[in-house]
Copies of this chain bind each other. A is one copy, B any other.
Amino acid sequence: MIYLDNAATSWPKPEGVVKAMEKVMLDFGSNPGRGSHQGTLGVGRLVLRTRELLAQLFGVPDPSRIVFTGNATQALNMGIYGMLETGDHVITTSMEHNSVWRPLKYLERRGVELEAVACDHEGKLNPADIQSAIKRNTKLIITTHASNVTGTVMPIEEIGKIAREHGIFYMVDAAQTAGVIPIDVEKYMIDLLAFPGHKGLLGPQGTGGLFVGPRVTLEPLIQGGTGSSSELEFQPEALPDRYESGTLNTVGIAGLGAGLEYILSEGLDKSYQRETLLCQSLISGLEKVPGIKIYGPRAREERAPLVSVNLGQVDANEIAFILDRAFGIAVRSGLHCAPQAHHTIGTLRQGTIRFSPSSFTSEQDIASAVQAMSEIAKELQG
């Protein structure tokens, strides 16, 4: 199988990821911060190590501001529900995933004012439009870092600057970019950064997290046992405990740590260059396929390493099915849980076929994908 669905979940994982998970399952089997025996202490160190690696990757000075969640969606919900109250105004874009859009629409019904700034047909956002949308009661700006449909990279540095100048919080959905495109929360003035563990960070499913910046205090989404300050009837203030209730996914977090070690040792800049080059070569190849439509911007620096396309008017799911069954190529198709983005680029009915490489993808894999699409196009016209 040629796996080109890394924007959904990266695969394969570095060897160390599975090994680290096995080690936790076999050697420790215990619970960090919940006792004093040696298994507990060993696992506690592994969790701390992953927290420190994430802090290092995102330029976070204090690792306790990295909070573990089960996925990026939980992290986004934690930020959104933890901050917004009736009467607040929130600005987002027309390219967001349902993990941002659905919580915001839910809050809109409960008295939060929502404004979605329109992006152009390539999914591009004009930062000036964010600036003009700001009102007296604007509390939060939320944008994706890169669209999961078009790959379009948002001008997060400009938006962060605008937000900070107006005393507004800025939350970034890094579902497609954490571990793929370098991110520095201080440089980009990001207050909340939500990320999955199982995509660009090369960890297992069931992992993710939220960076909670020093300006922010959230109402916790989930409350319960924190293994600290057990005697308190209310959630403790200390980080990360305030936002981490119940037993953590220690085995997943250990795997995520191994993924991070791989990324940091290979160098994120290098893998980013490589993956975007693969996408440029995919785009060049696909452009020659009759009837193809490629979405998003063309310039290499304007897109994350994923490419959404359609063939004529054919339903995207049909093409994806043929790619899988006849060519052994795994891609994602449909609406990618982001109807707003499809509305923006005009594919709400057809969906798109999305190719997404990782650093384990070869030039040959890309050539095979182009070849397969050419053959499918020929077949459809015949």
**A residues lining the B interface (CB < 8 Å):** 1, 3, 5, 8-13, 17-18, 21-22, 25-26, 28-31, 34-40, 69-74, 76-77, 97-103, 105-106, 196, 198, 204-208, 221-227, 230-235, 245-252, 255, 317, 320-321, 323-324, 330-339, 348
**CB neighbours of A13 from chain B (8 A):** 25, 29
Alpha-carbon gap, A52 to B248, bound state (A) = 24
**A11 and B29 contact, CB distance less than 8 A:** yes
Show 22 residue pairs from A and B whose CB-CB distance is below 8 angstroms, ordered by the A residue.
A5-B31, A5-B37, A8-B31, A8-B34, A8-B247, A11-B28, A13-B25, A18-B25, A25-B255, A35-B332, A35-B333, A37-B330, A73-B245, A74-B222, A74-B246, A97-B225, A102-B234, A106-B223, A198-B247, A208-B246, A221-B221, A251-B252
Alpha-carbon gap, A324 to B1, bound state (A) = 48
- State the oligomeric state as a number of copies: 2
**B38 and A98 contact, CB distance less than 8 A:** no
**A11 and B30 contact, CB distance less than 8 A:** yes
**B246 and A73 contact, CB distance less than 8 A:** yes
Chain B nearest CB, measured from A196 CB (Å)? 7
- With A204-B25, A225-B99 as known contacts, state yes or no: A36 contacts B321, CB within 8 Å: yes
**CB neighbours of A334 from chain B (8 A):** 35, 230
**A-B pairs with lowest CB-CB distance, top 10:** A206-B249, A11-B29, A73-B246, A225-B337, A99-B224, A37-B330, A70-B70, A73-B224, A71-B246, A230-B335
Q: CB < 8 Å: which of B35, B196, B231, B250 contacts A339?
A: B231
The CB with the most chain B CB atoms within 10 A, among A34, A97, A335, A338, is that of A34
Chain B nearest CB, measured from A324 CB (Å)? 4
**CB neighbours of A246 from chain B (8 A):** 70-74, 99, 208
**A251 and B105 contact, CB distance less than 8 A:** no
Alpha-carbon gap, A1 to B29, bound state (A) = 12
Alpha-carbon gap, A251 to B252, bound state (A) = 9
Alpha-carbon gap, A207 to B36, bound state (A) = 23
Chain B nearest CB, measured from A164 CB (Å)? 27
